[in-house]
Structure 1
Amino acid sequence: MASLCKIFIPFLSLLLALLLSSAHSLTCSSQSFPNRTFAHCQDLPHLNAFLHWSHDPKNSSLSLAFIAPPPHSVGWVAWAINPTATGMAGSQALIATLSGDTPTVRTFDVVSYSSLRPAPLSFPVWDVAAEFADKRITIFATVEVPAKAKSVNHVWQVGAKVDPATDAPKIHEFAPANLKAKGVLVFDGEGGAGSPASAPEDAGVSENGGAAAAASAPGSSDKGGVDGTGNGIFGFVVGLVAFSWGVISFSF
């Protein structure tokens, strides 16, 4: 039994270290950018996406880094502000398409799902760039937000297909995670973060339009889980430790 423990315990320790490392890597607090800093970050609740951002009320700007994995090697990711609704239709989008290892980011006016065209945004945007690493695309940008704005409706999305002739993104899936990938980014008066509210879940609000953005949820924080992955891994680790301890105890 002693020899079994000598083999099993180091193996268990290695497995736990790998699982805990994986759980940590799935949070925005573990991410950093050379020569770029952001005041806040959020683990967005859908599509394994992350948002790093800083709001400067003095010049009404929002600097951001949006990170998400495209679902295919030739795919796309998008982050957008919707000035009038809560869905993707009507939004002003930054969309990065991937071909090989080099992403290209462009601005799009998302009039509707049937009308997606490269166009200048309805507000100024600068310092636009994109990177691809660890199977994720990162979009960097700074956008102008309305003066004295307390919040903006934001939307994020991923897609697996790109038109080879125009390099334009093709329509994404309509799975629940895709349809729920929207929220409200809430500012405070000093460039800080309020609570990141989810978009309204009213049955009368669809991706093609909707009511005004909801207020932020009390008690919510800047950091949350990514589709519950972090909590799921933690629960698995605890269960594995308990099971292994039971096996060792039974052996003795």
Structure 2
Amino acid sequence: MSKKYLGAENYSVSNLSLSINDQEIFGLLGPNGAGKTTLISMLCALVKPTSGSFTINDLNYKQHKTEIKKLIGIVPQEYALYPTLTAFENLKYFGSMYGLKGKALNEKILSHLEILGLEKFANKKISTFSGGMKRRVNLLASILHNPKVLILDEPTVGVDVQSKNVIISFLKELNANGTTIIYTSHHLNEAEQFCTKVAIIDHGQIIVEGKPKDLINKAEDLHNLEDVFISLTGKELRDYA
């Protein structure tokens, strides 16, 4: 797939080809402006590719856009929650948008809040929550409909260590139960431990792909995924506006 925005000089994603296996935890890593967000936006059917297409669960984007949207869950980097509503009210609203309702939805919300340690705060407004608490509710809003594929954009950014551990443990459990995870993050140590496979993207193209340990073992002077990342993308700042 490729994507060039109107008025842009360069392609944000350029002739990118990618295959992600069922029940993989796949990390999309890259510097600022590398094309990660554009790629994710296309996979979520929020942004139309300039050229190319993709399939999820054997459904082609061009013919089955609505069906694909039902199969995926999206956890955006920014909080997608209503601050004046309670945690329970937020989750009930998002659950209803997926067609869930009644006692089954209420019980599902309460059980998931309990799993992530939020049951005591179910009836508190989101505006009163800490960053880590908001991250956990943000995650729950995306998985109430049991998505086949869960797409996460920086799911642990700005959270405390305890919240991060709870989120990662919950995601691993989802994956063990059959959910394929596509994950972006600048926390490379976290990605090294969490992902079964990663692709490093730069200038809209994949420059390397593989299991974290295999990428690290390719050279003697590479000790972790951060070393791999710096060796391939360089040390220059990637500021953009």
TM class, shorter-chain normalised? under 0.3
Question: In proportion to residue count, which structure has more strand?
Answer: 1
Larger radius of gyration: 1
Calculate the TM-score normalised by the size of structure 1: 0.23
Question: In proportion to residue count, which structure has more helix?
Answer: 2
Calculate the TM-score normalised by the size of structure 2: 0.23
